[in-house]
Structure 1
Amino acid sequence: MTDLEDALTRTLARAATRAPAARPDLLGRVAARHAERRRRGLAAIAVAAAVAVAVVAGSTVTLVRLTAGPDLPVTRPSPTTGTGMPPAITKVWPKAVRTAPEKLPNGRYLYPQLLLDDHTLLATTLKDDHADRLDGLWTYDMNTGEAGRLARVTTPPGTSVTASYLSIGDGHIGWWTYRREGGHQVVRIWTVPVTGGTPRQVAVLRDAGATGIDMAIGDGKVVWSVWGKDGVHQVPLDGKRPALVPGTEKYYLFQWPWASYPRVHENEPFDVPIGEHLLDLRTGRTVGAVTRPGERGVVCAITWCLTGRTARHRDGSGERALPGQAMPSQNIPLLDRFLMLERRAGTTRGGVVLYDLTSGRSADLGIRSDKRGAMAIPTFDHRLPGMFSYRLGGRFVIVNLAAID
């Protein structure tokens, strides 16, 4: 394989994992045009270490920091239903579940991103429903059904990749775009206040050598790592010159304030624990993990290290079996606590459960595999702080993980 082919393979795999959710009528449209197959790529391995919860219109932004904790509590298994599945999420954590329509009142498809408070959803709209043509940030009130445009977004012409998630922190929302300009690979970083306004370009990264970045906002800065490269970079929110964060040459951004190594290398086996070493970008404090000789397929988060079927604390204590299979693209706990697991329950029509590593409780999300065993996996991304969403019964189910005690 040539260098060009190898680079293209990595780029397509990485891009596939960052594709936003398809519009609600996609299946019908595809069926009318013949079946279209979409390839799933390797999932980016990263960790949820902070939750930024912003309240629009005159309120503050709170950053909740998670660090490696004490010994783990004893697991309390959830009761199961007659089908072998745990109770529905609306029964287990009713305060955490809301719903939203698939369209805004103006008829535009919305794409849930973050919760600004317990009832205000921050969503995006896409020009022509094209994944890389972000054209607006919207708020949707799940109590009243009212929607409002927070910001108009003009994506640079010719953009080939746009961040499929929004970053939030220090009173700002951020995202990035990528395109080729005169033979150069250019990433542009944009921010807008959580109270709304005109987006502002805070950094231009030329010849980044890849097609995108992982990004976060914290401590008055935008921080990022380039896909496929080591090193954490930063730029103040006022848009000064970008720079490498000292001492991070071999690290990769998890999510503010943590960086880690080793990172995932595309097309390589997990023969070393991914994320074994952590670095606090604010203080310089490092955290290691207890490893086992010859063990493979381990991914370490902030407090946890996981394989497909087990989880244990970074210090090696508290190991337990998971009540289901951690899916390769969903094996990073949100809020360093919640996992999405596939549970077959002894039948061919299995389901998806949300599992709380802290309490040991599980909840059924109501998703089932079809007759062929295929299953629509919800968007469960560490880069959507504190929440995730999925479609069910013609609406979005919005799960506010921060509302779970």
Structure 2
Amino acid sequence: MSDRSEAELIRALTRAADAAPEPVGDLLGTIDRRRRRRTRRRVQSALAVAGVVAVICGGTAVARGVFSNRGGEGQILAKTTATADASARPTGAEEPGKIAVRPAAEVWPAAVTKIPAKAADGWKYRPITGLSATELLLTAESSFEKAGRLEVYDTATRKSTVLADMPAPEGVKGYYAQDVEVGAEYIAWWGETPNNSDKWADFWVVPRTGGTAKRVGEVTGDLSRVERIGVAADSVVWSVIDGGIYRMPLTGGSPEKIEGTDGLHLMSWPWAADVAQEAGEDWEKNQTKVVNVEEGIIGNVDAPDGVQGLRCGEVWCYGKEKEAVMVQGTGGLERKTLPGLSSMGGERPLAREFGFFGVSGVVGRDAQGEEIEDAQVPLGVVYDPETGTMAGIGKRDRSGGGSYGTGTSSSPTSIVYWDEDERQVEECKMVDAESVPRPSGAPAPTGKTRSCTTTQKGGGKELTVVNLLAVP
């Protein structure tokens, strides 16, 4: 996996900031979540050292779900940082395009529950996905992003059961388990050494009923640039960043490329697409195919004019149309727009092809022109394409900020979660403008500029979890 220079990183951030929709800016929305893992961790560390998010020049920074891979650096939950006091009274009219969304707990009460944030031994839980309407698959982390075991939490009995340990391979330093995937018979995951330059990855499986994890094998070079994984009855499968799908027998052996998968990217085995599913430099490119790799069935996607970033599952597609989200069937039927929501080039569909979008809490501006956030507006919206139902997720604190996370499964997760007791405390000060990162070759600014840091406080006891497998 090739690294980029710090100058290129700054340019990527600048491009993302320029492309972000107003008033919700996504400074990281066009940075690939997996394509440049070490680069992303540098972004993560720069913006979020010790739980602090920096906002320069009073702008709004939004980082939604882009820090999912494990490497021991950065934040657990995505951060939304407000820049104005939500209690201030607006001086102008309400921002256009606002939508009213009820909380998920009101819309789908059976799907929302609270779980402990930590196991009995103090290891922190990170949700992966739902196994059923009442069973949640979790990793337990001994330290930040260091997954050490799989557990199943039963929301009916309020009890957790250890499914398997997640060991590191012998003799491998700096190893971190990455995304987990649930199959019909097995649960699989892959790992890498993300903080060094090795082009290397390995794969593990454990029976879905639990037991001792088995290391299937390892890959090097371009085959180690894992994008997503799947697990079939007899093999682990994965797609690589540049496209192409490979398999390795569960009994071990050499990897082989699956015939006819050039340029394809896994969505959820056996389904694949002809564009990467993650946010990246080419996120505006529209998907044109939905492919069943096992059966060799190819379905064409009807991409309407003016839509960007069209991403489809087996049945439904989502894209960006002007300042709204567009949803349609893969064949172009049942097309509609969802004004007031933003895909920001970063949010991927959830399980059951539910959509997941950002929503602005801005209701006006104060006398200084700063945005005013409504603390009652959710941080994000989950959308059911079958019924047209929308449900709000996350909780803004009084400043309008907040955080949420999505499950770390490789295929679309059924889980969105947040910590309702967490709050953000913002402090601002004037700093030398020349200390602010700038694109390579740009002239050094002079004078002072406003720099704000938002520190995470509180929380850590319970997580509020929405499990879409429990939605009627």
TM-score of the pair, normalised by structure 1: 0.74
CA contact (8 A) 2:234 2:249 kept: yes
CA contact (8 A) 2:404 2:416 kept: no
What is the root-mean-square deviation of aligned Cα atoms in Å? 3.7
Q: CA deviation at 1:13?
A: 6.5
Matching residue of 1:136: 149
Between Structure 1 and Structure 2, the one with more strand by share is 2
CA contact (8 A) 1:98 1:399 kept: yes
Matching residue of 1:85: 100
How do residues 96-135 of structure 1 correspond to structure 2 at under 5 angstroms?
96-127=111-142, 129-131=143-145, 133-135=146-148
Task: Measure, in 2, the Cα distance between the counterparts of 1:265 and 1:85.
Answer: 28
Q: Say yes or no: does 1:356 pair with 2:384.
A: yes
Q: CA deviation at 1:135?
A: 1.3
How many residue pairs get aligned? The number is 350
SS at 1:254 equivalent: strand
Task: Measure, in 2, the Cα distance between the counterparts of 1:206 and 1:313.
Answer: 39
Q: 1:139 to 1:377 in 2, by over 3 A?
A: closer
Q: Which moved more, 1:286-295 or 1:178-187?
A: 178-187
Q: Say yes or no: does 1:400 pair with 2:400.
A: no
Q: CA deviation at 1:270?
A: 4.3
- Where structure 1 has 5 or more consecutive residues not aligned to the other structure, the ranges are 45-82
Q: 1:134 to 1:333 in 2, by over 3 A?
A: closer
Matching residue of 1:240: 253
Task: Measure, in 1, the Cα distance between the counterparts of 2:188 and 2:238.
Answer: 11
Task: Measure, in 1, the Cα distance between the counterparts of 2:53 and 2:334.
Answer: 46
Task: Measure, in 2, the Cα distance between the counterparts of 1:397 and 1:181.
Answer: 31
CA deviations 1:322-356 (Å, max 9, x no partner) are 15323332242431134334153746223223221
Q: 1:198 to 1:288 in 2, by over 3 A?
A: same
Query: Quick one: which amino acid aligns to residue 396 of structure 2?
Result: R
Q: 1:369 to 1:202 in 2, by over 3 A?
A: same
TM-score of the pair, normalised by structure 2: 0.64
Task: Measure, in 2, the Cα distance between the counterparts of 1:235 and 1:289.
Answer: 30
Q: CA deviation at 1:12?
A: 7.8
Matching residue of 2:14: none
Q: 1:221 to 1:152 in 2, by over 3 A?
A: same
Q: Say yes or no: does 1:221 pair with 2:241.
A: no
How do residues 316-355 of structure 1 correspond to structure 2 at under 5 angstroms?
316-328=332-344, 329-344=346-361, 346=363, 348-349=373-374, 350-351=377-378, 352-355=380-383
CA deviations 1:79-103 (Å, max 9, x no partner) are xxxx963332222111112210111
Matching residue of 2:180: 166
Matching residue of 1:312: 328
CA contact (8 A) 2:150 2:162 kept: yes
Q: 1:384 to 1:315 in 2, by over 3 A?
A: closer
Q: CA deviation at 1:247?
A: 0.5
SS at 2:105 equivalent: helix
Matching residue of 1:192: 206
Q: Which moved more, 1:277-286 or 1:337-346?
A: 337-346
Query: Quick one: which amino acid aligns to residue 5 of structure 1?
Result: R
Identity of aligned residues (%): 22
Task: Measure, in 2, the Cα distance between the counterparts of 1:111 and 1:259.
Answer: 27
Task: Measure, in 2, the Cα distance between the counterparts of 1:155 and 1:193.
Answer: 18
Q: CA deviation at 1:250?
A: 1.9
Whichever of the two has the greater Rg, that structure is 2
Q: CA deviation at 1:42?
A: 9.6
Q: CA deviation at 1:307?
A: 2.4
Q: Say yes or no: does 1:390 pair with 2:413.
A: no
Q: Say yes or no: does 1:30 pair with 2:97.
A: no
Matching residue of 1:283: 295
CA contact (8 A) 1:113 1:384 kept: no
Query: Quick one: which amino acid aligns to residue 298 of structure 1?
Result: L
Q: CA deviation at 1:245?
A: 0.6
CA deviations 1:170-189 (Å, max 9, x no partner) are 32111111138998521100
CA deviations 1:248-290 (Å, max 9, x no partner) are 01211111111111336976344531x3212101110001111
CA deviations 1:197-235 (Å, max 9, x no partner) are 221111210223655331011243211012x22110112
Q: CA deviation at 1:143?
A: 3.2
Q: Say yes or no: does 1:379 pair with 2:391.
A: no
Q: 1:154 to 1:18 in 2, by over 3 A?
A: farther
Q: 1:292 to 1:364 in 2, by over 3 A?
A: closer
Q: 1:41 to 1:6 in 2, by over 3 A?
A: farther
Task: Measure, in 2, the Cα distance between the counterparts of 1:337 and 1:304.
Answer: 9
CA contact (8 A) 1:340 1:380 kept: no
Matching residue of 2:37: 15
CA contact (8 A) 1:16 1:40 kept: no
Q: 1:306 to 1:385 in 2, by over 3 A?
A: closer
Q: 1:88 to 1:234 in 2, by over 3 A?
A: same
CA deviations 1:273-314 (Å, max 9, x no partner) are 1x3212101110001111245643333333233223221222
Matching residue of 1:80: none
Matching residue of 1:79: none
